[in-house]
């Protein structure tokens, strides 16, 4: 990931202006610690600042990037996976670097704003055309990469990867919507990504083809092995991350990356000592043959990191913060090993109905429309968590499930085939499990392939959520919660935990524009109205954790984990891991070590 900051229509030439823009860009340097760049347009009408995380062409791919005549300039965040194909199938151009993002400037020279529909990848970018002083900004179809849009009091338009670069200088700012382009020529935002399955009335009818779904997913994973730096995979031991790891491990040997970094995939998992994820991930890693790294954290370490997590992830949403904190802690340790890119499993639950309330879907039409609603909101939840938790330490997360081509295949499947039918042996995400249930050449052990997901943050350890709630009880009184609607009239917190996160958020981001970027409404189970509509028993639940599964989950969430005490804590001190948090086998990666032991 990288960090971008753009100010268009500024027309201020003072040294103080340049210094201010450099200072604001430094707020994004955690996203791109490898190099900084700044382009200033003629007559100071535009500024493009870039903080680079070097993944492709580390030696010469510094940004901003230019077309052949250098009158088109682009600052981009993300990866364009089809850049080599685009170079071969479009007009020949003189390329200055091997960067995957340089193709954007050249394609714009050929086709103008239609360039956005040609890109296959995750991206946010701002492009300036100095020939007529016009500009565009765009964000990838699902919003894997973050982008914010703001307006200055001087009439300038601002864009930034994170709102911390806008909050003090813009009169107003908001989330830049995924799948949209902002055009100065055509008067603002318009949607460019609108596949048939996005429609509120369309219901797909394509029969489930296991081999077609498997092939599409394998292609999505393989294209994300495009890298010039050490990489690995986040492995929780659940279905989604395990499939990503299994496919990546199986195909790694045939990639360019294998020639550079070796043929053994590295995998990473985090959890409280004895957590379900650690155990399951260890088994998967052994089965598929990765070089596995386990990281422990304690509840107290997680609590100590909450303010930093909220600052980086830029939200007060309860489930996002619960899940972001272990990811934030793990990323720091991964980066210490010299790794700069990881594959991750976000998006599967939204595409296939993996959340347990989908058990209650009354028909295939409502099942499908709820999938679409959740996919359209991913940029406010899982994408934001995965991107910003990792970018906080200069690590890039790639998400194969949100591949544009794969989603077209998966979302064309008749939703009747995706629905949960326990009487027929179909649990959630059955089509994905079936697609990779290969008897002759198994991708995963059967019990892992058909393992039911641990809900939300429980996988890292059952005492994590309990610890967060107990911490909130110490900081938020009954009286504070009683008057919450007066203190926070917008998105009023309904629990002490939500109130505590809101307090921290407001310290970092006191602006009204900032609080409005976070999804609103009462915190109900699974954060969706559909859960309540399908089963009224969800309505009274204020905890968004999947512990409110109401009998859907095979394991009772009131049951204690093995070895737990009477309060449900693990047998070590108050549920906290003890001893060295770093695994003894983890050592920093050196570029000169043998390929067989290099990070992938």
Cα four-point dihedral sign 418, 420, 421, 424: positive
Q: What is the DSSP letter of 140?
A: -
Q: What is the C-alpha separation between 176 and 137, in angstroms, rounded?
A: 9
Tokens 């201010």 locate to 20
Residue 516 has φ and ψ, to the nearest 5°, of -80, -10
Domains in the chain, please, with CATH? 3-194 (3.60.20.10), 210-575 (3.40.50.620)
Q: What is the pLDDT of residue 433?
A: 97
Residue 240 annotated as part of some ligand binding site: no
Q: What is the pLDDT of residue 521?
A: 53
Q: What is the pLDDT of residue 558?
A: 37
Q: What is the C-alpha separation between 398 and 228, in angstroms, rounded?
A: 14
Cα four-point dihedral sign 572, 573, 575, 576: negative
Torsion of CA 53, 59, 60, 61, to 10 degrees: -20
Residue 234 annotated as part of some ligand binding site: yes
CA 235 to chain centre: 15
Q: What is the C-alpha separation between 454 and 238, in angstroms, rounded?
A: 8
Q: What is the pLDDT of residue 229?
A: 92
Residue 344 annotated as part of some ligand binding site: yes
Tell me, yes or no, if 2 is annotated catalytic.
yes
Q: Which CA distances in Å does 534 have to 361, 370, 422, 425, 426? A: 6, 11, 17, 21, 19
State the catalytic residue, choosing from 2, 170, 269, 526.
2
**Structure token pair of residue 435:** 């697609």
Alpha helix stretches (DSSP H) within 112-225: 115-118, 210-223
Beta strands across the sheet bearing 266-271: 291-296, 266-271, 231-234, 341-343, 396-398
Q: What is the pLDDT of residue 593?
A: 26
Query: Measured at the alpha carbon of residue 294, what is the angle toward residues 272 and 393, in degrees to the nearest 5?
Result: 90
Closest to 86 (Cα-Cα) out of 101, 73, 66: 101
Note if the bond before 223 is cis, omega within 30 degrees: no
| Binned average pLDDT, 10 residues per bin, the chain of 600 residues | 93 86 98 97 93 93 93 97 93 91 96 97 97 96 98 95 98 98 94 95 96 98 94 95 97 85 93 92 96 96 98 97 97 96 97 91 96 96 97 98 98 97 90 96 93 66 91 98 97 97 98 94 52 73 58 46 32 28 33 28
Q: What is the pLDDT of residue 556?
A: 36
């Amino acid at each position: 990931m990288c960090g971008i900051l753009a100010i268009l229509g500024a027309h201020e030439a003072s040294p103080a202006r340049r210094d201010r823009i450099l200072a604001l860009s430094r707020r994004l340097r955690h996203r791109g610690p490898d190099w900084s760049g700044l382009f200033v347009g003629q007559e100071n009408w535009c500024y493009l600042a870039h903080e680079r995380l070097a993944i492709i062409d580390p030696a010469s791919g510094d940004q901003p990037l230019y077309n052949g005549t250098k009158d088109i300039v682009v600052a981009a965040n993300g990866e364009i996976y089809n850049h080599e194909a685009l170079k071969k199938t479009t007009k020949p151009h003189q390329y200055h670097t091997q960067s995957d993002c340089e193709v954007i400037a050249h394609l714009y020279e050929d086709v103008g704003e239609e360039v956005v529909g040609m890109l296959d990848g995750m991206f946010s970018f701002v492009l300036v055309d100095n020939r007529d002083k016009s500009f565009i900004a765009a964000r990838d179809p699902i919003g894997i990469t973050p982008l914010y849009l703001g307006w200055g009091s001087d009439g300038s338009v601002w864009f930034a990867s994170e709102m911390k670069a806008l909050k003090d200088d813009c009169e107003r700012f908001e989330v830049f919507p995924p799948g949209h382009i902002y055009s100065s020529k055509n008067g603002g935002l318009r949607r460019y990504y609108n596949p048939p399955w996005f429609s509120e009335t369309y219901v797909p009818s394509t029969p489930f083809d296991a081999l077609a779904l498997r092939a599409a997913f394998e292609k999505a994973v393989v294209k994300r092995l495009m890298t010039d730096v050490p990489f690995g995979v986040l492995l929780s031991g659940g279905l989604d991350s395990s499939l990503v790891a299994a496919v990546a491990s199986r195909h790694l040997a045939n990639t360019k990356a294998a020639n550079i970094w070796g043929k053994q995939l590295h995998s990473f998992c985090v959890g409280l000592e004895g957590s379900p994820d650690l155990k399951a991930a260890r088994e998967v890693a052994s089965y598929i043959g990765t070089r596995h790294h386990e990281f422990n954290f304690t509840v107290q370490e997680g609590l100590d990191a909450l303010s930093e997590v909220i600052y980086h992830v830029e939200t007060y949403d309860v489930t996002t913060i619960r899940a972001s904190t272990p990811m934030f802690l793990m990323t720091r340790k991964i980066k210490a090993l010299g790794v700069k890119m990881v594959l991750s499993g976000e998006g599967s639950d939204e595409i296939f109905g993996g959340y347990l309330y989908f058990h209650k879907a009354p028909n295939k039409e409502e099942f499908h429309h709820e999938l679409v609603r959740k996919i359209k909101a991913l940029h406010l939840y899982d994408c934001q968590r995965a991107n910003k938790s990792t970018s906080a330490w200069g690590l890039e997360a790639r998400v194969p499930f949100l591949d544009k081509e794969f989603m077209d295949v998966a979302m064309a499947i008749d939703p009747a085939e995706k629905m949960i039918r326990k009487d027929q042996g179909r649990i959630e995400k059955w089509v994905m499990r079936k697609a990779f249930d290969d008897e002759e050449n198994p991708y995963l052990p059967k019990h892992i392939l058909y393992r039911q997901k641990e809900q939300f943050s429980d996988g890292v350890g059952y005492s994590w959520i309990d610890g967060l709630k107990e911490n909130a009880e110490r900081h938020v009184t009954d009286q504070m919660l009683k008057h919450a609607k007066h203190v926070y009239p917008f998105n009023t917190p309904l629990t002490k935990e939500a109130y505590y996160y809101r307090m921290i958020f407001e310290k970092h981001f006191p602006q009204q524009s900032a609080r409005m970027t976070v999804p609103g409404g009462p915190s109900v189970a699974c954060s969706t109205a559909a859960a309540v509509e399908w089963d009224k028993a969800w309505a009274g639940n204020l905890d968004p954790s999947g512990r409110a599964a109401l009998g859907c989950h095979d394991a009772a969430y009131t049951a204690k984990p093995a070895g737990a005490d009477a309060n449900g804590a693990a047998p070590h001190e108050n549920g906290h891991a003890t001893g060295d948090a770093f695994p003894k086998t983890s050592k920093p990666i050196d570029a000169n070590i043998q390929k067989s032991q290099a990070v992938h």
